[in-house]
Amino acid sequence: MTSGGRDYLLRELCLSFVPLLPTDRVNSWTDDSVLSTTRFCNVFRVLDRASQYLIREVIERGPQEPTEVIFRVVLFNTFTNIKTYELLRKGIQPLTWATYTRDKYEGLLRPLYESQISIYTGSYRKPAANMGYSENFMNHLVLLEDLMEELPQQVANAKFLVDVYDWLLPKPGMGEFTAYQLLLNLSYSSIMNFSEFDFVAVGLGARAGLRQCFGDVPRSMEVTIIRWMQATQSAHFARLGLSFEGLGPDHAPLMLCDIEHTLCELDKYVRVDTGKSRGRAYDPSNARPLEKLCLPKAWSNSARRTPRLKPVSKTGADEEVVEKYDVASIRNHRVVKGKLQLHVYWRGYPDDESTWEPESVLLEDAPEAVKDYWETTRWVWNIRRHACINNTETLQEA
């Protein structure tokens, strides 16, 4: 992508407040066919419909004891479906951890499951580790219980925002994406008062967006680049002739999570524009009006104005989060410049964020998934290697 193309996309995406415009103005903000017909998220994560509901109806409604706030956030985050949360809140009173029993929640969720009514968000997958049940929602209830045993204390004892992330990451079925989303949702409450600039986790979509902007970026540089983009945003808006007023009465700038969020949307645009993804259709005439903007009350806490980055370790190396991506499935393969690549679908990510990865890397990181793929598709090792050596673009099934 050219630098002009990057600038254009970033400018357009930062103007994409379509849901906030009156119906008669929704087509006046851009003449770009992709942006006007495809569903994109607002560059500010907090303005997503689910985030607004989370703040208004989950965090600020109900008992404000830390454990109860954490329970409601984890419960909502488990399904990320407003209708599911409303059903639980209406059917279980009070909706508290103090009165929680698994059978009550199963009693409301199982009829949905058996009627094939969606329990989860449609925006991305919500896989669950096997916690003893065949049903995803039951395994998620067990995971919720497991999290609630220690999470309140972990949050209370955390010296740095990344400490909570590190604790969440290895939990069964959690993974990098889900752990980061839960961390951000918890950060909208007053139970954690860390700066919004303390930590960012680079997901697959943001990584792809960085590649669109800057080419091949070493993973060790990804967070540094996102921090640079956040710190220099005003200069870039000025360079583009864009009057970007920020968010809310304090004109808050894009935060680290927003930059990461926007990079995902930028990559989505490129994939739709190049025909690699259809995207989700957007019809402005059917847009539901948003309620009045609700920003987290916790943002006013003065403790959040002081960044607390985890210090450099005694060895002199920066503390670094080890990212973990779980392979959901491998569905295809190709040969590019004589090297075999596999088409990987990632656990917890939507299908349109699948990626092509070198087989050599996957053999180290996910050897069983590679083995299962080749066994399932009945490929023979020497046939595959022969095709690679001869730079064959596609491999025919034996």
66: left (phi over 0), alpha (psi -120 to 50) or beta: alpha
**At which of 304, 324, 344 does a domain end?**
324
216 domain-assigned: yes
Q: Mark whether 16 and 104 lie in a shared domain.
A: yes
User: Would you state the structure tokens that stand for residue 220, as one six-digit string?
Assistant: 């060790």
147 domain-assigned: yes
* Cβ neighbours of 203 (radius 10 Å): 23
Q: Mark whether 168 and 204 lie in a shared domain.
A: yes
Which CATH number is 335's domain given?
2.40.50.40
341 domain-assigned: yes
**At which of 286, 307, 324 does a domain end?**
324
Residue 20: what pLDDT? 39
Q: Is the preceding peptide bond at 172 cis, omega within 30 degrees of 0?
A: no
Residue 384: what pLDDT? 53
Residue 312: what pLDDT? 55
Residue 291: what pLDDT? 74
The span from the first CA to the last CA of the chain, in angstroms, equals 38
Residue 348: what pLDDT? 64
Residue 396: what pLDDT? 40
Q: Find, among 128, 136, 142, 131, the residue nearest to 110 by Cα.
A: 136
Q: Mark whether 98 and 112 lie in a shared domain.
A: yes
Averaged pLDDT, groups of 10, the chain, 398 residues long: 51 45 50 82 90 96 97 97 97 97 97 94 75 94 97 96 95 87 96 93 90 86 94 89 86 94 90 83 69 90 90 45 66 87 80 80 80 73 52 43
Q: Mark whether 276 and 250 lie in a shared domain.
A: yes
In one letter, which amino acid is 150? E
Range of the domain at 378: 327-389
193 domain-assigned: yes
208 domain-assigned: yes
Q: Mark whether 175 and 34 lie in a shared domain.
A: yes
Q: Mark whether 341 and 265 lie in a shared domain.
A: no
Q: Mark whether 200 and 347 lie in a shared domain.
A: no
Residue 378: what pLDDT? 60
Residue 187: what pLDDT? 96
Residue 387: what pLDDT? 56
**At which of 271, 305, 324 does a domain end?**
324
395 domain-assigned: no
CA distances from residue 244 to 12, 25, 169, 286 in whole angstroms, order as listed = 11, 19, 35, 27
C-alpha 128/C-alpha 145 separation (Å) is 13
Q: Mark whether 331 and 237 lie in a shared domain.
A: no
Q: Mark whether 234 and 370 lie in a shared domain.
A: no
Crossing angle of helices 66-79/136-157, nearest 10°? 140
397 domain-assigned: no
Q: Mark whether 318 and 334 lie in a shared domain.
A: no
Q: Mark whether 277 and 378 lie in a shared domain.
A: no
The residue ranges of DSSP E strands in the chain, in sequence order, are: 327-336, 339-346, 355-358
Number of domains in the chain: 2
Residue 16: what pLDDT? 42
User: Would you state the structure tokens that stand for residue 170, as one six-digit string?
Assistant: 């290895």
C-beta separation of 66 from 74 below 8 A: no
